[in-house]
């Protein structure tokens, strides 16, 4: 890979690689380093266009990672690169999309756990990366580099946190300027590799000349040539998410044998005085008083975009032991309020919102799975209403018989992911052979139930045309429309 040396990211990447590895592994060759820095120093060369300040995050349990992060911070600032050294505990992750450059120095702890000063930061990142509504372009303006601080003696979880950060930032559109550098504090293999690379250069004027020649004459340097001399990824390292989380990292709590509850990212966001989800914008539902739950983790589709990565159970009918609806509601409220309480002390959480959040007023039956498959769905909804909790149920239109039996519900959200039989099959990958007929029958039943009026959530407006053709009147963003032939 060749990159122009005159570009800010490339200069930064090279400087970061050299300086962080040098600081981190206590490399002593000042002569060599200063030569390299001189050749890269933005002050002594072409002026760099003004860019926003970068951020160096230290993710550390016992302070080891903070030291190289601090040294890197001094070195970069000394060389004209404006960076802030940030404790993620004090940082608002919602602002991440505004960053242009982020360096993360992160250690890994037992079983691949993240140090506690980045607990909220990581949860936010995990949820955003797993949430298809957030999108893969959120961080497209953000370049990043990651330095892992760990120990190879922990095998598969060696530098798991650093690698996990890289994966999630990339999933959200972040641009990684260097392959994750994996430091090994015990084995010291990294400083050996680096020492080797640098000591070659130390006695080798040719190396410096070559470096300068590349820089001066062609303006191009092969970044991999340099990065290749730094720390390399260990072969056979397990790339799976290893974040010490239960339920495959989904963050939801299982209730009984077939239900679940989760604190959604919008609930957390509004607890912290930030915005809520679209239901807040459309219907004034307060996200910090909303409980996300499902009485059925299973589904009759295997949608390509499913955030559960197809690890949830699937089935065409209810074949499981059935838990009591009242018990499900009580446990869901109990677990939900416990999770709200755990938000106490998280930076930015407002005391007033926290106390309001302890009494949920809305329940989104949408977490995962198909809620109307649960045979006691009407009793469950009744129980929520008795607790003065409004209900919003999301269904994927595969159970027409069930929708006909559904009694009072505050809101019904039909997930229509495609407008034709072929595209619905390709996107939702339904288990039912007669999925299209089911979908049409569901639509007809719904049209009758709602007197031909549909309320459409914006998320699916693009694919609702076929469905809307069946009805007389529809509502988007609170405004009613009629169908024109």
| Ordered alpha helix ranges (H), 251-373 | 265-271, 278-283, 325-341, 351-357
Among ligand SF4, ligand FMN, none, what does residue 62 contact (CB within 5–8 Å per kind)?
ligand FMN
Q: Name the residue nearer to ligand SF4 (CB basis): 253 or 279.
A: 279
Of 157-165, 194-202, 308-316, 324-332, which segment contacts ligand FMN by CB under 6 A?
Answer: 157-165
Which among 81, 19, 38, 89 is positioned nearest to 59, based on CA atoms?
A: 89
Of 143-151, 172-180, 260-268, 341-349, which segment contacts ligand FMN by CB under 6 A? 143-151
Q: What gap in Å lies between CA 207 and CA 18, rounded to an integer?
A: 15
Asked if residue 149 lies in contact with residue 191, where contact means CB atoms within 8 angstroms, the answer is: no
Which partner, ligand FMN, ligand SF4, none, binds residue 109 by CB below 5 to 8 Å per kind?
Answer: ligand FMN
Q: Which of 53, 59, 150 is nearest to 102 (CA)?
A: 53
* The one among 10, 22, 126, 157 contacting ligand FMN by CB under 6 A: 157
Smaller CB separation from ligand SF4, 263 or 377: 263
482 binds ligand FMN (CB under 6 A): no
Give the span between the Cα atoms of 202 and 184, in whole angstroms. 23
For residues 11 and 40, the answer to whether their CB atoms sit within 8 Å is yes
**Angle between helical axes of 119-130 and 160-171 (0-180°, round to 10):** 40
Nearer Cβ to ligand FMN (154/283):
154
Alpha-carbon distance 299 to 473, whole Å? 30
Contact 260, 363 (CB under 8 A): no
In this complex, which beta carbon is closest to ligand FMN, that of residue 60 or of residue 395?
Answer: 60
Work out the number of other CB atoms within 10 angstroms of the CB of residue 399: 22
- Token pair listed for 290: 């909303």
C-alpha 61/C-alpha 105 separation (Å) is 12
The whole-angstrom distance between residue 29's C-alpha and the CA centroid of its chain comes to: 40
- Binding partner of residue 406 among ligand SF4, ligand FMN, none, CB under 5 to 8 Å per kind? none
State the DSSP string of 235-278: TT---S--SS-SGGGT-PEEETTTEEEE--HHHHHHHTT----H
Residues 126, 148: Cα–Cα separation, whole Å: 18
Q: Residues touching ligand FMN: how many (CB under 6 A)? A: 21
Taking the least distance from each CB to ligand FMN, the nearer of 100 and 151 is: 151
Kindly identify the residues of this chain, within the stretch 99-138, that bind ligand FMN according to CB under 6 A: 107-110, 112, 115
* Residues contacting residue 269 through CB under 8 Å, at least 6 positions apart: 94, 275, 276, 287
Q: How far apart are CA 429 and CA 435, in angstroms?
A: 9
Site residues (CB under 6 A) for ligand SF4? 264, 266-267, 276-277, 279, 287, 290, 292, 364, 366
* Residue indicated by tokens 């060696």: 158
185 or 303, CB closer to ligand FMN? 185
Smallest distance, ligand FMN to C-beta of residue 245, A = 14
Give the one entry of ligand FMN, ligand SF4, none that residue 364 binds, where binding means its C-beta sits below a cut-off of 5 to 8 angstroms depending on kind.
ligand SF4
Q: Which is nearer to ligand SF4, 44 or 342 (CB)?
A: 342
Contacted by 328, from ligand SF4, ligand FMN, none: CB < 5 to 8 Å by type:
none
Selection from 200, 209, 118, 202 nearest residue 162 by Cα: 118
| Among ligand SF4, ligand FMN, none, residue 154 binds (CB under 5-8 Å by kind) | ligand FMN
Residue 381, both tokens:
């909804």
| Residue of 16, 39, 60, 396 interacting with ligand FMN (CB under 6 A) | 60
Q: Which does 54 bind (CB under 5 to 8 A by kind): ligand FMN, ligand SF4, none?
A: none
Binding partner selected for residue 115 from ligand SF4, ligand FMN, none, CB under the kind-specific 5 to 8 Å limit: ligand FMN
Q: Which one, 180 or 380, has the nearer CB to ligand FMN?
A: 180
**Stretch 8-27: interaction string toward ligand FMN, x if CB under 6 A:** --------------------
- Nearest distance from C-beta of residue 366 to ligand SF4, angstroms: 6
Asked whether position 64 contacts ligand FMN by CB under 6 A, the answer is: yes
- Out of ligand SF4, ligand FMN, none, which partner does residue 292 contact, by CB within 5 to 8 A per kind? ligand SF4
Q: Which residues contact 478 (CB under 8 A, 6 or more apart)?
A: 282
From candidates 63, 135, 188, 275, binder to ligand FMN by CB under 6 A: 63
Place of tokens 């919102």: 353
CA dist., res. 143 & res. 13, Å (int)? 10
Piece of the chain touching ligand FMN by CB under 6 A; list 8-16, 154-162, 307-315, 415-423 = 154-162
Task: List residues binding ligand FMN (CB under 6 A).
Answer: 60-65, 107-110, 112, 115, 149-151, 154, 157-160, 185
């Amino acid at each position: 890979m060749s990159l122009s040396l005159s570009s800010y990211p490339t200069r930064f990447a090279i400087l970061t690689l050299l300086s962080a590895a040098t600081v981190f592994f206590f490399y002593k060759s000042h002569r060599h380093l200063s030569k390299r820095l001189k050749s890269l120093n933005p002050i002594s060369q072409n002026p760099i266009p003004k860019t926003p300040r970068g951020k160096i995050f230290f993710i550390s349990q016992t302070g080891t990672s903070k030291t190289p992060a601090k040294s890197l911070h001094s070195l970069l600032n000394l060389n004209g690169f404006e960076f802030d050294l940030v404790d993620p505990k004090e940082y608002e992750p919602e602002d991440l999309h505004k960053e242009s450059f982020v360096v993360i120095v992160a250690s890994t702890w037992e079983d691949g756990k993240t140090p506690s000063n980045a607990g909220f930061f990581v949860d936010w990142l995990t949820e955003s990366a797993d949430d298809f509504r957030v999108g893969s372009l959120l961080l497209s303006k953000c370049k990043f580099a990651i330095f892992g601080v760990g120990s190879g003696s922990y095998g598969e979880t060696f530098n798991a946190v650093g690698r996990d950060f890289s994966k999630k930032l990339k999933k959200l559109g972040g641009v990684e300027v260097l392959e994750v550098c994996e430091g090994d504090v015990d084995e010291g293999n990294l400083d050996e590799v680096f020492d080797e690379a640098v000591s070659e250069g130390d006695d080798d004027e040719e190396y410096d000349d070559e470096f300068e020649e590349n820089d001066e004459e062609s303006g191009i340097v092969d970044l991999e040539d340099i990065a290749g001399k730094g720390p390399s990824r260990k072969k056979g390292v397990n790339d799976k998410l290893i974040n010490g989380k239960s339920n495959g990292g989904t963050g939801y709590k299982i209730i009984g044998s077939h239900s679940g509850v989760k604190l959604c990212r919008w609930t957390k966001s509004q607890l912290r005085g930030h915005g809520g989800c679209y239901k807040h914008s459309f219907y004034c539902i307060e996200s910090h008083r909303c409980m996300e739950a499902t009485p059925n983790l299973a589904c009759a589709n295997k949608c390509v975009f499913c955030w559960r990565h197809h690890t949830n159970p699937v089935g065409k009918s209810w074949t499981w032991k059935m838990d009591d609806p009242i018990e499900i509601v009580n446990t869901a409220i109990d677990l939900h309020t416990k999770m709200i309480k755990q938000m106490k002390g998280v930076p930015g959480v407002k005391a007033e919102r926290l106390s309001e959040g302890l009494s949920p007023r809305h329940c989104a039956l949408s977490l995962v799975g198909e809620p109307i498959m649960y045979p006691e769905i009407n009793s469950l909804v009744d129980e929520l209403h008795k607790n003065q909790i409004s209900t919003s149920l999301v269904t994927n239109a595969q159970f027409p018989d069930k929708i006909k039996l559904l009694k009072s519900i505050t809101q019904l959200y039909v997930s229509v992911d495609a407008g034709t039989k072929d595209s619905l099959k390709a996107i939702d990958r339904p288990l039912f052979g007669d999925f299209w007929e089911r979908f049409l029958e569901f639509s007809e039943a719904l049209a009758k139930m709602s007197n031909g009026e549909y309320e459409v959530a914006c998320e699916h407006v693009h694919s609702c045309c076929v469905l809307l053709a069946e009805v007389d009147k529809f509502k988007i963003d609170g405004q009613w429309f009629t169908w024109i032939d």
